[in-house]
Structure 1
């Protein structure tokens, strides 16, 4: 015990002797505070994806000033008596309040807590790197040991404070937000809520009232009673794979469906992107079928869009094909189904091809279907069918001979495409 007391006294004497150098180090770092803050902000951009996705100018106006404030707080801590510092005392509570506030802001900005804590670890590494370069540390190595310990303790206290503030905010707000989300989703889909109520709820999620939206509906291929946990996982997959470029994206679970209200303000230019994302989602969720409505203007039209997404699913034959079903495709099914020429199309086009396939073990119907799905591209069709383009060309020529409809003539091609939808 006597030896330990002597060691403690020796350490205290050493730190006391180093105090003038610590004061010099603090002054040196004060002079470089702005430069160090900018360096930290740059490292955040380079290393943390979530910080790069923050709004333009936000790192300069919020993140970098917070990093500099953290540096100032750390410099104050260099003169603290570690044995007397507590993360719960009044002084520490006031010192760390700005960082708790920043954690709350990060939560509402959609920054995950893992990214937030990564930022504080990166802050600690960067500050220590700059401290090591200070002349006081280079000239007096033992000072580095003392300062390193204080920096580590500061990072630990700040990280604990911000994590606690973040999680406290999340636990309260997320519950409230989820309730509001469900209310808004139900109000939009049912179409029964007043316009005033929809306006009030939509403002909470930043959904422009007069913008254009489409509905993406995800439903199980079989009514198998998916568990709430399975639906939550499906919801997370939907949120991860649908990436609208406009504001106003809303998703949620309704009964045994996952519904996404997708902003499509520039419908013509963004339709291709939506189709690509929806098809990728369908490939990720083979046990589900994806229905997509047309784009409609205004939140009041979402209920109609939801019914279109339902029709896209209901009117399309559910196959093993991993792609989304768009209402535009379903409209063709409706046209064919209601046409008095439906049977004529099937008898004159599909039946001869099916008979030929049976007699010759061929794939004319499959080739025609792949040709239409490929946008009438020979190379893509060949890749889909795992044959040479010349083989596809030969089969299309045979289709012409058997049906009288030339796949290379636009009007004939329309008849062939409609006939594929005329099956029994």
Structure 2
């Protein structure tokens, strides 16, 4: 019998005996024999033998046995393939479970053999890394959203293959030891070297191509080591949160562009005092404070250009001028004065971060 390269000689040790018995009696393999074939298929998968080589070996061995019933050979090969495929599925599930556990440990800073495990997934944690987070824009809602938890775009899960397809595209371009893409909290996380800035841009491109509009991407800053990955991940996630709270229109938000907001929230008591002192008089405005807050946001976004602000709001320039005068009378602050403008803008940002006035301050 000719041997097939790469297949251990003893892998199908009982195959000839089963075929010879079937040729002599005409009976198909019994349950024990089929279980033996499944076990042999599993061992082949675990040993790295290709399925093609395994099946070819079984067929070559069958050529030495005369009058083997074709149904018998078919059942034997089918059992081999079943065992092989079952072993592959089990290995894949175990790999995915290990991957999820590693990603959770990495992003939460649990340092149990992180560097050693990172090498298995293509990361060298001594380097500087940047984390990008992509997820549907908008807060998680309790209402009917098609089961994904988001009001607009659809969240992803471990089983839909999105992360794997994006990672394969990035690996094809940048190499296997440069990027890690994983599903987390209904979105996607990409970990890439800080020296490879184009990788996060490519990740963003694939997110836009793969998913319907309504996704945001947050980009953390570059930091070194496992702790740096955690910091960059939190920065990226916070950038998306700030974008949602502030109603920012950009689909890509960089933590480096939003550094003022963590500073504002670091002293919550101070920002609450600022919002209360400067903006609480707007609560007495006819129609409520929201139109006036929206007008201030539009004016600040337009660098003080009231005509441009009116276009943003869909109202007349005269209406904007009137609202700004009401704000000046109620609060005593005017956006035309540089110092007062800064105070007003900071207070408005603080109000959005604290979701005021929807959530009254103590």
Flag the structure with higher helix content. 1
State the TM-score, normalized to the length of structure 2.
0.47
